[in-house]
């Protein structure tokens, strides 16, 4: 379930990803003709700030091709590499719940595409260890793991934070494991980590890190069935036109409404 996106333990996933309608087919020889692109809403992010990555697989040819839509970071099909100027280095793990998804193949008609937005929020202190310009490139493997398609490199600039953002970064760096701060690892069952997240949102909710921290806190509160406490976070984020996951926040508001109806006499 999506509400446990941050809270899943490290595990190997074997699931079948539903696809858009299409007859069963073989990808061999066709998958590499698809176009993979990655993008970000902004070009600059402060140190250790989670980065939304928009991943799109599109058929730019004039013929029907075969591919899949297992583009999420936890699918095992998508890989990212980062080049800080000394050559690309593959990011070993993109998600706490990363595994191998058994993705079914489907047809992409000319001009057809599938797009997802995922968070790069794990091991950011290792992926982008210092301020500077990095080139990020994606590689997507076919459902049978035999072919892959590469995106063009995407430049992302990591800048040193100032003011409130700098104070927020110091808070994150003083966290017991900074690499896990925005993943929500163990927050459900560790009162100190939960309190740390609450304090961060209270103190630094207006910082560059605030939206993602607020979303995570809302997710944890939702999982704890603390709906009244979770609602304000999602209401605020759902109204932000510049927040990459505003639609997800809106979906949580719908879930809260459904869960509260169940609890009414």
Question: DSSP states of 29-59 as a string?
Answer: TTGGGSEEEEE-S-SEEETT--EEEEEEEE-
Q: Minimum mean pLDDT among 8-17, 173-182, 183-192: which range?
A: 8-17
Q: Give the predicted TM-score (pTM) of the model.
A: 0.86
Cα(191)–Cα(186) distance, integer angstroms: 9
Instruction: Tell me, yes or no, whether 123 and 176 share the same domain.
Output: no
Q: Mean pLDDT, to the nearest integer, of 185-199? A: 91
Tokens, residue 22: 């299409």
Q: Mean pLDDT, to the nearest integer, of 71-80? A: 92
Could you say which of 159, 192, 210 is where a domain stops?
159
Angle between helix 210-223 and 227-238 (nearest 10): 150
Closest by CA position to 229, among listed 249, 256, 207: 256
Instruction: Tell me, yes or no, whether 211 and 181 share the same domain.
Output: yes
Q: What is the pLDDT of residue 27?
A: 61
Confidence of residue 25 (pLDDT cuts 50, 70, 90): low
Instruction: Tell me, yes or no, whether 149 and 172 share the same domain.
Output: no
Instruction: Tell me, yes or no, whether 135 and 176 share the same domain.
Output: no
Confidence of residue 104 (pLDDT cuts 50, 70, 90): confident
Tokens, residue 43: 């070009």
We report the CATH number of the domain holding residue 146 as 2.60.40.10
Instruction: Tell me, yes or no, whether 79 and 182 share the same domain.
Output: no
Closest by CA position to 88, among listed 150, 165, 26: 150
CB of 94 closer than 8 Å to CB of 78: yes
| Mean residue pLDDT across the chain | 88
Kindly tell me if the per-residue pLDDT of 26 is higher than 80: no
Confidence of residue 265 (pLDDT cuts 50, 70, 90): low
Instruction: Tell me, yes or no, whether 17 and 56 share the same domain.
Output: yes
Cα(109)–Cα(162) distance, integer angstroms: 48
Q: Mean pLDDT, to the nearest integer, of 29-54? A: 95
Residue located via tokens 């600059």: 44
Parallel/antiparallel/unpaired status of strands 16-17 and 102-103 = parallel
Confidence of residue 24 (pLDDT cuts 50, 70, 90): very low
Q: Select the more confidently predicted residue: 99 or 15.
A: 99
- Name the 3-class secondary structure at 80: strand
Instruction: Tell me, yes or no, whether 126 and 188 share the same domain.
Output: no
Q: Select the more confidently predicted residue: 126 or 29.
A: 126
Instruction: Tell me, yes or no, whether 219 and 150 share the same domain.
Output: no
Cα(109)–Cα(60) distance, integer angstroms: 9
Name the range with the highest mean pLDDT among 82-91, 159-168, 174-183.
159-168
Q: What is the pLDDT of residue 28?
A: 65
Q: Mean pLDDT, to the nearest integer, of 8-21? A: 40
Kindly tell me if the per-residue pLDDT of 30 is higher than 80: yes
CB of 65 closer than 8 Å to CB of 113: no
- Please provide residue 177's backbone torsions phi and psi, each rounded to the nearest 5 degrees: -135, 90
Q: What is the pLDDT of residue 11?
A: 34
Q: Mean pLDDT, to the nearest integer, of 125-149? A: 94
CB atoms within 10 A of CB 228: 9
Instruction: Tell me, yes or no, whether 35 and 116 share the same domain.
Output: yes
Q: How many structural domains compose the chain?
A: 2
Q: Which domain holds residue 191?
A: 163-263
- Give 221-260 pLDDT, tens digit per residue: 999 999 999 999 999 999 999 999 999 999 999 999 999 8
Instruction: Tell me, yes or no, whether 196 and 143 share the same domain.
Output: no
Q: Mean pLDDT, to the nearest integer, of 188-206? A: 94
């Amino acid at each position: 379930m999506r509400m446990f996106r941050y809270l899943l333990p490290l595990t190997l996933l074997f699931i079948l990803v539903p696809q858009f309608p299409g007859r069963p087919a073989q990808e061999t020889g066709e998958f590499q003709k698809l176009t993979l692109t990655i993008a970000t809403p902004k070009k600059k992010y402060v140190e250790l700030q989670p980065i939304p990555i928009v991943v799109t697989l599109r058929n730019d040819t004039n013929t029907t091709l075969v591919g899949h839509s297992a583009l999420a970071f936890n699918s095992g099909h998508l890989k990212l590499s980062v080049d800080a100027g000394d050559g690309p280095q593959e990011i070993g793990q993109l998600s706490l719940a990363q595994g191998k998804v058994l993705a079914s193949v489907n047809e992409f008609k000319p001009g057809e595409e599938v797009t997802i937005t995922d968070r790069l929020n794990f091991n950011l202190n290792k992926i982008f260890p210092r301020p500077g310009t990095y080139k990020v490139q994606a590689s997507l493997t076919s459902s049978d793991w035999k072919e892959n398609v590469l995106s063009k490199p995407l430049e992302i600039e990591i800048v040193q934070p100032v003011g409130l953002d700098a104070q927020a970064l110091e808070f994150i760096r003083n966290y017991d494991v900074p690499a896990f701060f925005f993943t929500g690892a163990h927050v459900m069952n560790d009162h100190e980590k939960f309190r740390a997240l609450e304090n961060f949102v209270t103190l630094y909710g207006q910082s560059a890190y605030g939206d993602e921290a607020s979303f995570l806190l809302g997710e944890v509160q939702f999982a704890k069935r603390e709906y009244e406490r979770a609602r304000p976070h999602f209401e605020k984020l759902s109204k932000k036109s510049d927040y990459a996951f505003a639609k997800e926040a809106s979906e949580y508001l719908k879930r809260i409404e459904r869960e509260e109806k169940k609890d009414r006499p």
